[in-house]
Amino acid sequence: MARVYNFSAGPAVLPEEVLKEAAAEMLDYQGSGQSVMEMSHRSKVFDKIIKDAEQDLRDLLNIPDNYKVLFLQGGAHLQFAMIPMNLMKNKVADYIVTGQWAKRAFKEAQKFGDAKCIASSEDKTFSYIPDCSDLPIDENADYVYICENNTIYGTKFKTLPNTKGKDLVADVSSCFLSEPMDVSKYAVIYGGAQKNIGPAGVVIAIIREDLITEDVLPGTPTMLQYKTHADNDSLYNTPPCYGIYICGKVFKWLKKQGGLEVMKERNEKKAAILYDFLDQSKLFKGTVEKNSRSLMNVPFVTGDADLDAKFIKEATEAGFVNLKGHRSVGGMRASIYNAMPIEGVEKLVAFMKKFEEENA
């Protein structure tokens, strides 16, 4: 069996240790005689799985007690709607549009109220994070929204926007658990698991408790109210049990690695290997302004679409897969999430060097 180096933006690489453990437990989870896929979500065994997962996540992120952790479904996309439906009390919200996902969230919020775009980097194909130190934030804004790490364009907020006292909502899908974060600076943090945590099908939302109320937009379905899930510890209906179990294993793996400080160091080291190479390469070039660079998603180009295609083809044959850039930007993108080992990045750079020499 040969495992590839998988640079996919998502669904993405998972720690091999986690996959092996899951494989070993596939037919008989810890003496239960069943797979986690087969057991009742109301069973004692599953209750421990979901409670442990929540506690380990709380430990990793130091989540304060006045925040709820919810395991939800519907992808990040459903949060684009649930956020305005649950938080738009004044029907006003300010959006910072730094990429396609932020733009989708912004467009969705416009269906529910007065959502405004107060800053954007679309003028330069989202290749930077705009200055957010003094934005025209609406006095009545229910929240300010960001996509903290822009998966497609490879940018990341290095400092959070000055929200002038308004609640901050962040989509952290592609930087979740890549480094420590101060949860108390946010009102809502959410992300789809399939980027940096686990399998597709789980969305994790961390929400300040005072925001979880019955005061939601009229007509909000029961399933789309945060309160429904908060009141039932994410077990109102059948949750994505197997996905939550894998997320839980990844949380334990992260703790074993030494936690998020260690992951941050490791991720900085990994990203530097790639960025340092790009900065001196005569063939490959990064597409993002240096001070906005993501540690997780690294887009790059040769400047020649045919050569890009040749590179992707040869890289795939050599076992470096899913390096094609998002269809909206072209070129290449290496996603180097927590589970990508440092050797994967070192070997990719060695391969790029060789390709550069051969195609000089």
Catalytic residue set: 101, 171, 195
Crossing angle (nearest 10°) for helices 342-358 and 305-317? 130
* Residue 98: CB minimum distance to ligand PLP, A: 10
DSSP state string for 311-326: HHHHHHHTTEE--BPP
Minimum CB distance to ligand PLP smaller for 145 or for 277: 145
Q: Are 272 and 284 in contact (CB under 8 A)?
A: no
Helix or strand run (H / E) with residue 254: helix 241-257
CB contact at 8 A, 224 and 19:
no
- 157 is a contact residue toward ligand PLP (CB under 6 A): no
DSSP-assigned states of every residue in 51-64 = HHHHHHHHHHHT--
Instruction: Tabulate helix, strand, coil % of the chain (nearest 5).
Output: 40, 15, 45
Site string for ligand PLP, 193-212 (x = CB under 6 A): --x-----------------
Residue 75 beta carbon to ligand PLP: minimum distance, rounded to whole angstroms: 3
Q: Which of residues 119-148 bind ligand PLP (CB under 6 A)?
A: 147
Q: How far is the CB of 41 from ligand PLP (least distance, A)?
A: 21
User: Binders of ligand PLP: how many residues, by CB under 6 A?
Assistant: 12
Q: Is 294 in contact with 155 (CB distance < 8 Å)? A: yes
Q: Closer CB to ligand PLP, residue 163 or residue 294?
A: 294
Please provide the DSSP assignment of 127-143 as one string: -SPPP-SS----TT-S-
The interface mask with ligand PLP, positions 32-71, x = CB under 6 A, is ----------------------------------------
Token pair for 150: 């822009």
Residue 173 in contact with ligand PLP, rule: CB under 6 A:
yes
Please report whether residue 187 would count as binding ligand PLP according to CB under 6 A: no
Please identify, using beta-carbon distances, which residue of 72 and 132 lies nearer to ligand PLP.
72
Distance between alpha carbon 15 and the CA centroid of its chain, in Å? 16
151 interacts with ligand PLP by CB under 6 A: yes
Segment near ligand PLP (CB under 6 A), from 46-54, 171-179, 325-333, 337-345? 171-179
SS3 300: strand
Query: Which residues lie near ligand PLP (CB under 6 A)?
Result: 10, 75-77, 101, 147, 151, 171, 173-174, 192, 195
